[in-house]
Chains A and B, each alone.
Chain A
């Protein structure tokens, strides 16, 4: 069977995390993604981490993660001949994705209206930190900036400072949202003949996050209140992160799960207590539960607690390190991790499919080396001669 997007071509002019991640998702599901890098290379090549911490533009973990399954060319779109080459490439593209400051593409002769003359049903996806217009249109952003605008105030301990999410997860989620917008724009263009310019502001992705911010924005409209780092575990039933014999576990106990907790702790009498009015917020009841719960934690490892509790469908999960994650039996049995040889780095272990569907996903090849497909795309596909290619190279265009 065909891959989901194997008749779709994307020109990816973007840098950073969200744009490249969005086009990589398409590439994982069959799209022909051509990564167009400035001759100096995408800054992600300099980002690392690197094997042995030795910088190498072909071995940056961030770059290798974001660009698998793509082809790569170099092009200086700010030069007249570079822009002309890009316009040629646009003729066969379905989607162009970019992350320049508002107005930059137009200044290069590559604005949406100009590109639309070349390809009337083109989708141009423009990602910026704050959007194409408005008082903050030129402002800068990255992961911690976006999180500050939509969730950081309620992450962490009220006595300590607000803390961000792990790694670059917010910027990756901007990429997921961008990929979805590109797919929706593509469907409108392909089946309804209407090209689209997508305006996505990274800040707005976080400001409307389903990790409670969207809910709480409406909640603010409803109540006038705002969130804070107030503890969520005010009740008698154990909720939070707790130490155990070999680390920590994440526990949350809704009233609907109380019976499962009582069964796991071997205290069916807790259910009678729970039926009493006000028990859910009773500090005496909390102390009674803790008198059993805390010794249970102290006596067992994370994995023992996890297995005992989940046998009763009570969610108690281990706080795993990356090493624990990589060794975990579940993900291994599902063959989630995929090993592939990289020509410079050697064997690498990648996360497999984001989602599974018959003939949907394939790890076809690793991230392209800088300019790896210049000959194939400029020479073979666009028909440029060797002399022309040499001239462009000498002029620093490719």
Chain B
């Protein structure tokens, strides 16, 4: 089946960390490419895999995200092979360890670059340069290479060396401010990591475009994904408004400048909510009908969009009065059956129970070496005439060392054993250097 996928026969070197980079190469692996993660067995990638010494007791004391990280809350002796955030973003990939700051590692890496089509990395510019990921160095080894670098703030400019997570770059880019509560202090909002969702799709898109051009011209090249700029396209209308009107509008919260009412309404039960969005007067009439045309809703002041904007607070008050004693799913179906956009605010358990999710097979069983079989989310896109790869769960550290060194690079048994004996290949974190070079230095 793999030979029928558009990237079959394409080899990708994956030097990515944290979320955005691995998610980018996840698309390539699912589309048929051979993706080889090159990892260090000495530098602990605490934000990519996990700290090597997490215990079940520590997990209990850490936050919600940590509690949900390990099967049964058990990190076991090799937690870095068992975290949900790594395992969900690295299926169908291989893992080999290589120490890029040693002569032996540099030599192995050079030989891999010679026989690969694509290299992807998402470190801050400074780290990437130090590890030898510059276009100048790599194109000298393989001029047909497509090098995709994803520095959070680009390869140039005064902040090119600045690091952080998605939430930091949202702050810098105006997005955190734009999504603050309109009626509460900005510190009350919580971090989101939207950039980690944006960059992988654009990186994979650009890589496909570069491969298409290489088929025509024979030339590879450098792709720069300056992640914050990539994300800023998603507020292009806000940027144009600033350009046209030189203004900064206050954060709208859950409201919309056209659609009214739009918001999040409390339903029956603890922390249960439904959202709805009335796009035009027709939606409003259907909403009124759906909720039984109570007297307040027949107020002619509410019949027009301007009227509903002017009385948004009162409408919200009435709608909350109607929703608060109802089940969120009941409200969702009632409104949608009347053609009004609505949705329950869902947590993960809700998604697992969702009939549409189950009908469309959004969650599919997949076996991973260190954890066993669990349901993983598939890619959102579905094709009529090809089925994306769904073969092997995320690799454990160094799981494919033998294949990469012996089969791909042709190392002899003795040379391989020699590297192993000197600690230059491994399947465990041999030396712990949390906070040391390469650790948590991700751009994202």
Contact = CB atoms under 8 A, between A and B. Distances in A.
B435 A259 contact: yes
A216 B68 contact: yes
A160 B359 contact: no
Contact of A148 (B87, B202, B275): B275
A150 B346 contact: yes
A230 B384 contact: no
Given A153-B345, A154-B190, A210-B197, A65 B340 contact: no
Contacts of B192: 151, 155, 165, 211
B217 interface: yes
A291 interface: no
Contact of A255 (B198, B347, B434): B434
Nearest to A251: B168
Interface of B is mostly: mixed
Given A214-B89, A319-B176, A177 B380 contact: yes
Nearest to A165: B179
Given A217-B351, A318-B171, A208 B360 contact: no
A211 B181 contact: no
Contacts of A252: 164-165, 167-168, 191
Contacts of B360: 131, 133-134, 201, 204
> Which interface residue of B191, B222, B248, B348 has the most chain A CB atoms within 10 A?
B348
Smallest CB-CB A-B distances: 5 pairs: A219-B68, A4-B209, A65-B236, A315-B164, A166-B178
Interface residues of A, number: 161
Contact of B264 (A130, A152, A157, A333): A152
Contact of A218 (B61, B205, B258, B374): B374
Interface string B225-236: 110011011111
Contact of A169 (B215, B235, B262, B435): B235
A376 interface: no
A298 B341 CA distance: 44
B41 interface: no
A248 B209 CA distance: 40
Interface of A is mostly: mixed
Contacts of A136: 336, 355-356
Contact of A355 (B230, B248, B253, B346): B230
A192 interface: yes
B80 interface: no
18 contacts: A25-B202, A48-B257, A64-B240, A148-B344, A154-B347, A157-B188, A166-B179, A167-B235, A177-B381, A199-B383, A217-B375, A219-B65, A220-B352, A223-B67, A225-B68, A241-B187, A322-B238, A348-B244
Nearest to B371: A222
B369 interface: no
A44 B47 CA distance: 40
